Every structure is written in structure tokens, then in C-alpha cells.
Amino acid sequence: MVERDGHHAFLKALDYSKAEEIAKQSGIDELHALQILVEAYNFERDLLYECARKRMDRVVIAIEDGNVRVDEGPFGTVFYLIFERADGDVRNHLATAGKVELAWLLRCLHHVATGLYQLHSAKVAHQDLKPSNVLVFERTTSKVADLGSASVKGEECPRDAFEFAGDGTYAPPELLYGQRDAEWNRRRQACDVYHLGSLVVFFFCGVGMTSLVLSYMQEDHRPRSWGGTYQEILPEVRDAFGIALQEFEGNVPGDQLRAALREIVSQLCDPDPLQRGHPRNRIGVADQYSLERYVERLNLLARRAEIGVLESI
Amino acid sequence: MLLEQLRRRIVPRWRDHRTTLALGELSQSRAPAAISESDSDALSLRASEWHASPTVWHAADLLSSAFAVGESGRFRDATDFVLTHRDVAPPALVGLAEKIAKPPQDRLVGSPESVLENAIGRLVHKVRLRLRNEPRNAIQWVELARLYTLLGASDRAVRSMITAVELGPDNRFVVRSAARLFLHEHDAGRALRAIRNASGARTDPWLLAAEIAISSASQSPSLLAKVGRLRNEDSALSDFERTELSSALATLELENGKSRRARQLFRQSLTAPNENSVAQAEWANREIGGLDLRGNLNDVPRSYEAHAQLALRKGEWQPAIENGLLWLEDQAFSKRPAMFTSYVCSLIEDYEQSVAILRSSLSVNQNDPVLLNNLAFALASANRLPEAKEVLRGTDYNAVSGTTAVILAATHGLVLFRSGFPDQGRELYRLAMDRAGALKVLKYRIQADLYLAREELLANTSVARVETEKALAAAEKSTEPDVAVISEQVRRLYREFLSSTTQESRHEV
């Protein structure tokens, strides 16, 4: 935490200690690993400024960057980024707010969907949306944070070579089962779409969609034990997905909201990336993974909850 | 009534998805991969966040993440925390924590449940309701096809299965179920296409076994037998994974007259068998001998068929019926268990049960000539002649071939006897015996002979004594318990016949 002009802000510094780990994992020397780290820092910094330039108001952007001299470390200096300080991530809000208002939850989801939509509009896939990366500002505004795992279409990005760029514990099922699609949209954007649906599930169930689905699968069919391909296991995943959706419904209050969110989640979290997204977006030249319709729908649901048309928790 | 001596092939069983999973036939497992360092770091970070902020939502995030990568067991404290705070935690999270704390038993295989027709209707409704929300769920399309099959709605079953195959062409459960249904519907070509088009057709031992067995059943050459032989030698496969493949290859060798190699492969299939491979080995043992099944029978879940067949060979009728009924419940759409169990019921003169089994099976296997024949036999034997005639209407013993021509001629003869036309009846029994002789199936000939004697005795014909003594003498050549039990019935009737003729003679004197 740092202070700038009387305002508190959040500082994220480049962690050189990770170089050793990267070197070990990738079988490269430490200098090369440091170079990778610095490139990743530069990538995130440039991307954050690009987001700022495009006025992405639902993405946490840097307010300053630079470096400070230090006595230790390989370069005698540490690069940093300074972000606007948030109240905390969404978990803190859910935990401290006691009985969370339905309107707040839906507005938060609307903000997150908007953030992802803004990124996608700039051909950026976030790839690491999870509860800890949804920050809450002044209790009312939510933003998507951490572009460290992001990928930009048509550009070489630091984490593009990774099997899964984001947090593997939140990965969509196809990636956990080792299916890698070479097509950027299907591999990167489809992942964001899934993560958004999974976040909806987390808000109501306290469990991400992947875990909820896997909890309905036999141990030897789960990713760590499965020896076949994703296409072979996909019908089993889909069957478990159907049961998981039923459980999700049971955790959502009110018939109206339940039906609306079930439809949203079933489209966003479809286990087959080829079927993911809004059905109308799969026709013609439309962007299959466009979140525009979901932004509108979540906004509408949030608005209804705010004016008391939807049942509250 | 005769039990058709069908050549057995190890075609895939078709059960509901849950049971098939529990039997372990859908596994394709490998040694669990180690968790990646980045996932491990993510979990450590999440654990430290939870320790810093011990709230339900931080515990939720930790457990959810850990479960996704199979590491939830490491965070017992977070699990306990959620369970302790279940009043404020979302129900789904509590459910997950309970599963982590006490993982459900995966391999619990219960007995098959007898499903009544109205219960099937309810199940159809339930599955269709799911499919309305999940139209791309191939597993549920298979379930729907199975339920339609049990209801005898074969067109709907086939349509549902075609949808399932389109949606899940590479999934073992879908493909094997589809192959089984298409074979049941006498469309072996479609069954083989479903298997051969699957991406794992050349590597998956369960698909290879199905391709070899169905090719053999449809008298067409297997395109994957050679690959199957190589795969069967692959040490990467577990004994259980290879059981049906070894058995299918063994059957192929047996059909090619290579009994020694067949025996070796059957023995291999019995290293870690499933009930299908045990039943196949039991059948093979009757053909070529030299196989020891004793070690397998009691350990393999649902090995009703093998138990039933062995009980029949030992003349243990009640265990044969009990296991036959369980076999029938397990494979309710299949005619083989119905034929078997109704046959044993008829052997011990429980014709009512025999009729009930056959009527139920005929609702699924409509117009099957063997089932119709057996039903007519049971009805006629129970003196329900009008019903027996109704069943036989439309059947023609001259329009069929093989052993069916034998049994159908005999049953027509039986009905004629019971209708008061012994001469015509006798003629048809003799026709059946001649056909059995031509087919070189001695057992059929002996049984037809015994049943002719039974009818002669009951009709009190002039040739009853001669026919009976001849039939009993012929039956002496057989060592089979089912022949022995019919002989005993005939002997009993013969004693009654003799005593009544003696009384009549005394009366006359």
C-alpha cells in the first residue's frame, strides 16, 4: 500500500525472486528468466495504459508506473505499477456485508461482464477472472483486475506459451483435460466467457462451475486421472454439468431470477467451447463469444433488483 | 420347449449410465498426475488468504480451487470451517465440503431394480424433462433410448440413439450402448459403423472388443481384430481393461477351431473379469472345457448369467430361476435371459411364471419366433389352448430354419395333441425330430421325443407305451440334467399310465 497526494493506492512491484522458479520450470538460465519477467512487466504496463487510453472504466488500470532504487536485486532497481486502491476483492465484500443484497450481486456481475466486454472489444482476453480478481471500489463499483495473464489477439504475449495462462484452479474443463485449441478466440475468449459464468455460480453457490461439475463426476473421470481425450469424456462432463446446473438453480432465489441466471450460466459455461456463448452469436458472422448480450441482460436484472421487482435474498 | 443353443459372443452389455459407471467399465484412467507447481502456488496463496481472512467466502474460494485440481483433501481445516458455518454458507458449498469430508463410494453396485412399465413411463418423463433443458446431453439420449427399448418403442429408441451418437460419437458409453441397441434391432452395419467411427476405435480395448464380437455375430469380417490382438498384448492396459478384448479374441479363435489358443485367451480374460467375460468363459467352457471359473463367480458383480447357466448344468432349478430373473432384470430388453428363465420354469412345470416372463419379453422383442414358440408351449402345457393357438397364429414352422424350425414344429405338434388331433400332432413331432437329426442336435431330438411321449401318455394313445419306452431309452444316452428332469416327468406319467391301465384291465376281468 502506498500514499500519493494524500490518497492511498496499491503498489504492485516486479518480484525478481520468481526468476529462479521460472528458470527451474522452463530449463533456462536465470538471466533469461529475468528478461522474461521484465518483458511480462512491460507487457502488463503497456496493456494497462492502453486500457486507460480506451477509457475502460470497469477494468482496474494503473495510475502510475516507474522504478525505485534498491540496494538488493539484480538491477539495483525495482519496477512498479500503482493502482487505485480498492476496498478489497469480492470475497471480502461478500464476507463482511452479512446479508448481501441481490441487487448488489447482480450489479457486480454486470460490472464484471462490462469489464470483460471492454477488454474483448480491444481484442484482449483476460484469462484469469476469479473472485480475487474482482475488486470492489467504494462498495458500489466492481472492476476486473490483474491483466498479468492477458493475451492480445495478433500479438505475442508473455503467457501465450503456457498450457493455461491463468489460474489453473479456475480453468475451464477443456483446458483441465488438456484440450488446446489453436484458434485464439476459442482458446482465449472462450475461457473468459466461461470464467464469467463460473463467477455467477460462485456468487450463489460458493463454488466455481468447474468444481461443481467435477463434484458430480466419478474420481477416475476427473482431469487428473483421465487418460483419454476431452472429446471422449465430454458427454460425461456435459451430463455432470446438467446436474450442476440443477444444483445452481437450487441456490438462486426466485423463479424469475433462477430461470434467467440458469440460461446465462448454461450458455456461458457450456463444457464444449464450440457451443459456448449466446446461441444467436453462433449464427453467421457474429462474434460467438461476444458478451454484449450478457452485459445487457445482467444490467436489466440488476436494475430490476434495484427497483425491487426481483425477490431479494 | 427347448433352450436354443445359441453361439455366444461377448457383445457389450447395456445398462443405465450410473450402473455402468459403478461397474468400472467406463474408466480410462492413468496414474493421477502430480499437481503443477503453478497450481500448487495458487493454492498456497489462496490458503494464506484464507488464514489471513478466515471467512466462509475465502474458505469457499480455497476449497473450490483445490477441488478443481484434485487437492481438496489437503485443506481439512477449511472443509471443517465450512461445515461448522453451514448456516451462513451457500448449500452448494456445504454439499461440496461434505463430499470432500466423506467422499461418496464410487464402486457400489447394487442388484438390478425391477422396473415396472408405469415406472418406465415416469422415468421417460424425467429424462425428457432433462433433455428439454439439455438437448445436447448424449448420455441422457442413451438413457431415453434404453427406456424406449424397454417399452418396446424401437423406432423411438433408435432415433434417440442416433441423436446420442451424433452428440457423443467418441464416448465409450454412448458408442457401446448404441452398438448394442443397433445389434438388438438387427442392424449390425450401423452398430459397426458407430464403433469404427469413434476416435478411440483402434485403441480403446472396450471398443475393439465390441467391434470383434459384433462382426462375429453378424458374420462379417472384423476390421479391427488385428489391431485388437496387438492391443491385447499391450502391458499398459490393466487386466480389467483387457478382459472383454481377450474374451472377444478368444471367441474368435474358438470359432476358427483354435481351441488351445482360445483357452489361453479365455484364461487371460479371467484374470480380472467382468460379468460378461465370466459368462462368455462359462459358455466357452461348455464348448471346449479346460477353464476354471470357480475363483471368479462370487467376486464379480452381476454375474447372474454365469451363475444361472451353471445352476442349470447342475440341475439346481431354483438357483437357476433366481439368477435367471436377476439376469433378466439386468438386461431387461434381451431375449436370452427371458428364453433361459422361462425354459427352466417350464422344466419344473411352473408354466404360469414362464408365461409371465415370455409375455413381458415379447413386449420388447415383438414377434420373436423363439419367444412366441416358448410362450405357446407354456400356455399349451398349462392347458390354456385358445391362448396358445392365438400365439402360434402367424407362425409357420416351414418358413423358418435352423433350430427354430425344430422347436416350432414340435410346439405346433403339442397344440394339435392337446386339441384332440394326436395323429397330426405326432407327425409334427416326428418332423421336429427329423429336423433335429438333420441338424445333428441330439439333445433336441431327445427332448422332442420325450415331449411326444408325454403327449402320447396324456392322450392315452395306443402307441403311448411304445413311444414312451423308446423315448426313455433314448434319453438314457444324455447326461444333461434338463433332459433328466423331463425324463423323470415322463416316467412319472408313464407310471400313472401303467397303473391306470392295470386298474382298467382288472376292472374288465
122-161 in chain B: CB under 8 A from chain A = 130, 133-134, 136-140
User: Average pLDDT for residues B29-36, to the nearest whole number?
Assistant: 80
Q: Is A275 on the interface with B (CB under 8 A)?
A: yes
pLDDT of residue A181: 80
Residue type, B411: T
- Conformational region of residue B367, where left means phi above 0, alpha means psi within -120 to 50, and beta covers everything else: left
Please list the ranges in chain A whose pLDDT falls under 50: 312-313
Smallest Cα–Cα separation from B408: which of B438, B446, B436, B440? B436
Query: Which residue in chain B is spatially nearest to A96 when comparing CA positions?
Result: B55
Q: Is A242 on the interface with B (CB under 8 A)?
A: yes
Flag whether pLDDT at B426 surpasses 70. yes
Three cell numbers at B472? 426313455
Smallest Cα–Cα separation from A191: which of A176, A203, A205, A201? A176
How far off is chain B from A57, nearest CA to CA, in Å?
26
User: Average pLDDT for residues B449-471, to the nearest whole number?
Assistant: 94
CATH 1.25.40.10 fits B326-508, yes or no: yes
Residues 6+ apart with CB under 8 A from B446: B471, B474, B475, B477, B478, B483
Q: Among A26, A100, A133, A169, pick the best mutation site for testing chain B contact (most B Cβ within 10 A).
A: A169
Cβ separation A250–B46 shorter than 8 A: no
Smallest Cα–Cα separation from A9: which of A80, A78, A66, A86? A86
60-89 in chain B: CB under 8 A from chain A = 60-61, 63-70, 82, 89
Query: Which residue in chain B is spatially nearest to A209 when comparing CA positions?
Result: B64
118-147 in chain A: CB under 8 A from chain B = 130-132
User: Position of cell 478384448?
Assistant: B245
Which residues on A lie below 8 Å from B172 (Cβ)? 232
Q: Tell me which H or E stretch contains A142.
A: strand A141-144
Q: Where are the alpha helices (DSSP H) in B275-350?
A: 275-288, 294-297, 304-314, 317-330, 335-347
Residues A56 and A118: beta-carbon distance below 8 Å: yes
Taking the C-alpha atoms of residue A109 and residue A144, their distance in angstroms, rounded to an integer, is 10
Taking the C-alpha atoms of residue B195 and residue B507, their distance in angstroms, rounded to an integer, is 74
Residues 6+ apart with CB under 8 A from B265: B232, B246, B247, B249, B250, B253
Residues pairing with A9 in the sheet? A2, A84
pLDDT of residue B230: 97
**Domain residues of chain B, as ranges?**
37-101, 326-508
Residues B149 and B127: beta-carbon distance below 8 Å: no
CA distances to A64, A276, A288, B336, B470 from A285, rounded to whole Å, are 39, 15, 8, 54, 85
Q: Is B46 on the interface with A (CB under 8 A)?
A: yes
Buried/exposed B134-167: b ≥16 CB within 10 Å, e otherwise: bebbbbbbbbbbbbbbbbbbbebbbebbbbbbeb
Cβ separation B92–A248 shorter than 8 A: yes
Cβ separation A232–B200 shorter than 8 A: yes
pTM, to two decimals: 0.89
Query: Which residue in chain B is spatially nearest to A213 when comparing CA positions?
Result: B68
Q: Is A266 on the interface with B (CB under 8 A)?
A: yes
Cβ separation A250–B91 shorter than 8 A: yes
Flag whether pLDDT at B106 surpasses 70. no
The length of chain B is 509
DSSP state of A187: I
pLDDT of residue A24: 75
Flag whether pLDDT at B113 surpasses 70. no
Taking the C-alpha atoms of residue A8 and residue A29, their distance in angstroms, rounded to an integer, is 38
Taking the C-alpha atoms of residue A166 and residue A175, their distance in angstroms, rounded to an integer, is 11
Cβ separation A168–B38 shorter than 8 A: yes
Smallest Cα–Cα separation from A161: which of A311, A285, A40? A40
Cβ separation B49–A94 shorter than 8 A: no
User: Average pLDDT for residues B460-481, to the nearest whole number?
Assistant: 92
Residues 6+ apart with CB under 8 A from B188: B182, B214, B215, B217, B218, B220
Considering chain B, what is the average pLDDT of its residues? Answer: 92
The string of pLDDT tens digits covering residues B194-209 is 999 999 999 999 999 9
The string of pLDDT tens digits covering residues B378-390 is 999 999 999 999 9
The string of pLDDT tens digits covering residues B493-503 is 999 988 887 76
Q: Is B95 on the interface with A (CB under 8 A)?
A: yes
The string of pLDDT tens digits covering residues B132-173 is 999 999 999 999 999 999 999 999 999 999 999 999 999 999
How far off is chain A from B236, nearest CA to CA, in Å?
11
Which residues on B lie below 8 Å from A248 (Cβ)? 92
pLDDT of residue B116: 62
pLDDT of residue A7: 66
Architecture of domain A88-306: Orthogonal Bundle (1.10)
Percent of chain B with pLDDT over 90: 79
pLDDT of residue B110: 64
Cβ separation A95–B130 shorter than 8 A: no
State whether residue A66 is helix, strand or coil. Answer: strand
